[in-house]
A and B are shown apart, each in its own frame.
Chain A
Amino acid sequence: MSYPVEQNEKFAAYAHPERLVSTEWLAAALEGGALGDDKLVVVESDEDVLLYETGHIPGAVKIDWHTDLNDEVTRDYVDGKAFAVLAAAKGISRDTTVVIYGDKSNWWAAYALWVFTLFGHEDVRLLDGGRDKWIAEGREITTDVPQPTPSEYPTIERNDAPIRAFKDDVLAHFGKPLIDVRSPEEYTGQRTHMPAYPEEGALRGGHIPTAASIPWARAAAEDGTYRKRTELEALYLGEAGLTEGDDVVAYCRIGERSSHTWFALKYLLGFETVRNYDGSWTEWGNAVRVPIVKGAERGTVPVLAGK
């Protein structure tokens, strides 16, 4: 970890306090002249592709989840070469401390952080509360777009296996816990897309058998920060029924909302093995001969067709 870790009571209770920074911490770091070299880079990552341009934290660079992090052709993330080009252009070196924040309780910021983690970027943190909290506190924003000095970033081959699950991994995972972070309507199969969001073309509505339903936003407090450790434990250990040491897979619709939950399970509660299934419902709900469950019950471990 190249930049000092924030010490406060709330973070100290988490398994990996070094993965979060508060708005106070970031404001103080910026005031102390933290930006300008490649020691610390602040990244904004939003759902709305133009939101950064309306105003952002001074010195922050923009990374768009779709146009920067997704491969343009294959349904996959960019490769090591493209990631190196992106990081270098944003002034990020391999040992830079990257602080990511964004709109909607850091939903997309967590997704960007997860992609950084696929490339093994070591020190990447979330700004607790994200963009909305920064603005609600009346902190400085600007429309000035920084021109970072390009850095050198090595070409790193993505290492998906530890934190990314594919459809076959999920099929092999039955018997171990799954967390479905979508809305209750999507979980039960009443609808195949998010409330008030465009139809994204899943042929079937429902959930992966045995998955517990814990909508992602329940891990966030009113101000967009993560809930305290005790509250997260009540949610995931209590309600979802996870136990320490579990191997967990989280999913949603395309893997964005579940990145937020992945972060909570991995870094705040300290589950060693948590994978995000980014194919999520847009793959599972369309795949041939995969089992699904409709309704509010989790369902039982399925007998797989052809096995």
Chain B
Amino acid sequence: MRKLEVMSTNTLPAALAEIVDDFQALTEPDRLQLLLDFSRGLPALPERLLDHPELLEQVVECQSPLFLTIEQEKNPDGVAYRLFFKAPPEAPTTRGFAGVLHEGLDGLTAAEILAVPDDMPELLGLTRAITPLRMRGMTAMLGRIKRKVAAADRLLS
């Protein structure tokens, strides 16, 4: 089990690997507190998306309504992907997962995002405290981001 975790962390982008390390260094109650901090840190949607809810997709696997979308941003090094999430304040767990993925993946390239292992949420060490059922929403969120990035990336080539 321990070996698997180490292997998986190695393929994570630096920011996400750091978040995983932060979670793993904490006790279970403190991990929940950190997730709550991430829920508070999730940035609000930019105005252009607020007016266009149709541009956001719902991730139905999450227990509370979560909407997300991605945008491409061209820069000298290539194309970066920006991530946008919307979840209500009454859903702090869902918001916290969104906050982790935002801080860990926002602004990265398609290759970096697609290299994140699908079971990355398990690395946060929250499964017991959050319950497997609630973890499924986070895995679904990551899966949706990867699918959208892969599809957008295919259109570029």
B-contacting residues of A (Cβ < 8 Å)? 47-51, 53-54, 66-67, 72, 103, 196-200
Contacts and interface: CB of A to CB of B under 8 A. Distances in A.
B136 A198 contact: yes
Contacts of A197: 60, 63
Given A54-B39, A196-B65, A200-B133, 8 more contacts: A49-B32, A49-B129, A51-B92, A51-B93, A53-B33, A54-B36, A66-B131, A196-B60
Nearest to B33: A53
Given A67-B128, A198-B137, A48 B91 contact: yes
A134 B96 CA distance: 24
Given A67-B128, A67-B131, A47 B92 contact: no
A240 to B, nearest CB: 28
B14 interface: no
Main secondary structure, interface of A, reads: loop
A200 B134 CA distance: 11
B46 interface: no
A50 B96 contact: yes
Nearest to A72: B128
Contact of A53 (B32, B90, B131, B140): B32
A41 to B, nearest CB: 21
Interface in B63-104: 63-65, 89-94, 96
Contacts of A53: 32-33, 36, 92
A53 B137 CA distance: 20
A49 B62 CA distance: 13
Given A50-B39, A50-B96, A198 B90 contact: no
A77 to B, nearest CB: 15
Contacts of B153: none
Nearest to A53: B36
Given A53-B32, A198-B136, A48 B64 contact: yes
Contacts of A54: 36, 39, 89, 92
